[in-house]
Structure 1
Amino acid sequence: MDEDQFKAPESYRDMEKMKIEIWSDVMCPFCYIGKRKFESALDRFPGKEHIEIEWKSFQLNPAMKTEPGKSINDYLAEVKGWTREYAEEANNHVTRIAGEVGLEYNMDKAVVANSFDAHRFVQFAKTKGKGDAAEEQLFKAYFTDGKNTADHETLVNLGEQIGLDGDEIREVLGSNKFAEAVRKDVYEAQQVGARGVPFFVLDRKYAVSGAQQPETFLGALEKSFGEWELKNPSPVIAYAEGASCTPEGECN
């Protein structure tokens, strides 16, 4: 039998999906860790092809100044009132946690950078279907590669690596485009109860706060999707036709 007979009709391949919104900030170490743990759960979830992920903007420190020459340990000591030694130990601790999920954190290379333009970059990438890829690039750039994620040319380079047009990115970053989209996400975070990140909202009904274990995410996925599926039943699709009988007694 021709394998094309087993393909679903085009109209059913893009069926409505259950949306999961994830609020995060590129400078949040637990957001990258949470991304990996959530992905681990999603990989084990049978209905993952019916899940749509949308990354949402959240700024932990909107007033942060971009200071490429400043150590992240010095920055944390200043803003949190910690000793530098305590800040260094805190970063070593989160580095160990990141390693448990296969991530390499080089916090000694992290660049103190305001994340507003990085969020505008993600908002633009979302319009091209590249939101998740943009988030992954930003996290790696910040935590692993020690790149300045507020620098426009750095963002252009990251975008080009995921197939975005560099000139379009420059045009966006050189303007005020997507600034309102970032502010809207920040406002929505308050409305859904997000006081920190990462913050996962499933079908606008259930929330998971923080970098939880994959089992927690999986349980939330199963519960929210089960309820969503009851309200959005999938149509029965005939993938192939063969010999059959009808209620009228005709068999062929």
Structure 2
Amino acid sequence: MTDAIKIDVWSDIACPWCYIGKRNLEKGLAEASGDDDAPAVEVTFRSFELSPDTPVDFEGGEADYLAQHKGISEAQAHQLLERVTGVAAGAGIEYRFDLLKHTNTVKAHELLHFAKEQGRQHELTERLMSAYFTEGRHLGREDELVSLAADAGLDGEEARDALQSGRFLPAVRADQAQAAAYGINGVPFFVIDGKYGVSGAQPAEAFAQIVRQVWSEDHDSARV
């Protein structure tokens, strides 16, 4: 019996390419799941803060943030946003940068570790990314995060306690330390079975191909 392929996804809920990469990964895994010998896969989301020094209440829009963070003009920032909006549409996501509230994401990452403990990490990851990129929700605020946790099937008061206690912050920092050890400096970044690294929001076909390849390799080694 071959063990499931483990895919660790380093991402940030405030990263537009991470949401696209997540959707493409899901589509690729769905495609491979139709194979006669379908790969068994376990996906875990890991914490990565693109901009840990961002304040909870950032003054300005996403173009302002990009211009400041990347040192580019506002016109260039708008061009980048237009490009990623088009790519997102191809993945079935309608980005609303006109509504987006840029914020610090460390509390969202803590909540994702709480959700992982409760077996609801995938549901919360989708809910947080959708809320951030398509609904203009403020993910730096505790009440908003608790509400979204409830949407994802988690107990709201337990989620609030998890945020207020800070007990999942060490897990966030451990993910970040592992990313540094791997040399990850941009997300999304996918680590397959701890030995293959895939950078960026690859197309769905690429994810389908790699899980099929790894599954075949695992089968071959199991037969030796």
**Which TM-score applies when normalising by structure 2?**
0.92
For the pair 1:26 / 2:16, whether they are aligned, the reply is no
Q: Which residue of 1 aligns with 2:94?
A: 104
Aligned match for 1:118, one of 104, 108, 112: 108
* Counterpart-to-counterpart distance in 1, 2:209 and 2:64: 39
Larger Rg: 1
Letter in 2 for 1:171: D
Provide, for residues 117-153 of structure 1, a one-character-per-residue CA deviation record: whole Å limited to 9, x for no partner.
0000000000111111111011101110011111111
Equivalences for 1:30-109 in 2 at 5 Å? 30-45=17-32, 46=35, 50-67=40-57, 69-109=59-99
CA distance in 1, matches of 2:147, 2:39: 30
Q: Output the CA distance in 2 between the equivalents of 1:156 and 1:212.
A: 32
Give SS of 2:159's match. helix
Partner in structure 1 of residue 170 of structure 2: 180
Mean alpha-carbon deviation: is it higher for 106-115 or for 70-79? Answer: 70-79
Alignment match, 2:209: 219
1:204 aligns with 2:191: no
SS in 1 for 2:150: helix
Root-mean-square deviation (Å): 1.7
CA distance in 2, matches of 1:229, 1:128: 31
Distance change >3 Å, CA 161–CA 179, structure 1 → 2:
same
Residue 154 (structure 1) aligned to one of 144, 149, 154: 144
Tell whether 2:181 aligns with 1:191: yes
Task: Give me the identity figure in percent.
Answer: 38
CA distance in 1 between partners of 2:51 and 2:103 (Å): 10
Q: Give, as a single letter, the amino acid of the residue that structure 2 aligns with 1:208.
A: V
Deviation at 1:18, TM superposition (A): 2.1
Q: Which has the higher contact order (CA 8 A, sep 6+)?
A: 2
The one-letter amino acid of 1:20's match is I
Runs of 4+ residues deviating >6 angstroms: none
Secondary structure, counterpart of 1:107 in structure 2: coil
Query: Could you tell me how far apart the structure 2 residues matched to 1:133 and 1:229 are?
Result: 30
CA distance in 2, matches of 1:230, 1:160: 44
Q: What is the distance in 2 between the residues matched to 1:25 and 1:229? A: 33
Aligned match of 1:170: 160
Query: How has the CA–CA distance of structure 1 residues 89 and 16 changed in structure 2, closer, same or farther, with 3 Å as cutoff?
Result: same
How many residue pairs align between the two structures? 220
Q: Secondary structure at the match of 1:23?
A: strand
Q: CA deviation at 1:216?
A: 1.4
> Are 1:206 and 1:220, in contact at CA under 8 Å, matched by a contact in 2?
no
TM-score normalised by length of structure 1: 0.82
Query: What's the offset of the Cα at 1:79?
Result: 2.0
Provide structure 2 residue ranges, at least 5 long, that are not aligned to the other structure: none
Give the secondary-structure state (helix, strand or coil) at the position aligned to 1:200: strand
**Structure 1 residue ranges without an equivalent (≥5):** 1-11, 234-252
**Alpha-carbon displacement from aligned partner over 1:204-232 (angstroms, at most 9, x marks no partner):** 11111000112211221112122233455
1:231–1:166 distance in 2 versus 1, CA, 3 Å: farther
For 2:163 and 2:175, locate their aligned partners in 1 and report how far apart those are by CA, in whole Å.
Answer: 18
Q: 1:129 aligns with which of 109, 113, 119?
A: 119
Q: Does structure 2 retain, via aligned residues, the 8 Å contact 1:17–1:51?
A: yes
